[in-house]
Amino acid sequence: MTETGPLPWGPVRALLAERRPGRLLLIAPKRPQPVEDWLESGAGTLTHLRPDEAHRRLPASGRHPVCIATDLLETLEPDTARGLIAGLRDLYAETLCLVVEVDRAAQRGWNERALLALGLRHLAGDGRHDLYVFDLYDYKHTPDWLNSRFWANPEMWDGPFPF
């Protein structure tokens, strides 16, 4: 994964500046420049795992405020990548940033629909790379019908409660 152009690293850099995580989980073959800059700023501690070892070593790492993952779709078997993304999303990261090299991922059968099915949201792309995110705190917007205006109103029923 090369780091040319503002995408996907510009939005990743902005996310790190906004969130200021005390711990960061990186799953990538090497450290991208935004992570190097974050480390140099003394913002927190880094747990760095290679994609091929992440599924074995994650249980010891605990939940992190932010996880940045690269080269998962491009290098791992689809079932392994799918399981790893689900585990990161559900157990190990409050915010997951997945950087995807579009052409290499497509060669392995990945497309946007498959990533959306995993609960990820497309945040940015430049035609060559895409950035998908999952944020535990905003992944599901509360629908309008899920509020007290639409719940049963016992005061409007005829007569007392039957129980």
Give the span between the Cα atoms of 67 and 94, in whole angstroms: 8
Give the CATH number, domain containing residue 37: 3.40.50.150
Give the span between the Cα atoms of 147 and 155, in whole angstroms: 17
Give the span between the Cα atoms of 15 and 81, in whole angstroms: 23
Average pLDDT over residues 134-155: 71
pLDDT confidence bin for 66, thresholds 50/70/90: very high
In-domain check, residue 159: no
In-domain check, residue 109: yes
pLDDT confidence bin for 7, thresholds 50/70/90: low
At 4 the pLDDT is 40
Structural domain containing residue 37: 9-137
Q: pLDDT, tens digit, for every residue of 14-24?
A: 999 998 999 99
Average pLDDT over residues 45-57: 91
At 8 the pLDDT is 73
Count of domains forming the chain: 1
Give the span between the Cα atoms of 133 and 124, in whole angstroms: 9
In-domain check, residue 156: no
In-domain check, residue 25: yes
In-domain check, residue 154: no
Average pLDDT over residues 60-71: 90
- The more confident residue out of 56 and 139 is 56
In-domain check, residue 155: no
pTM of full prediction above 0.85: no
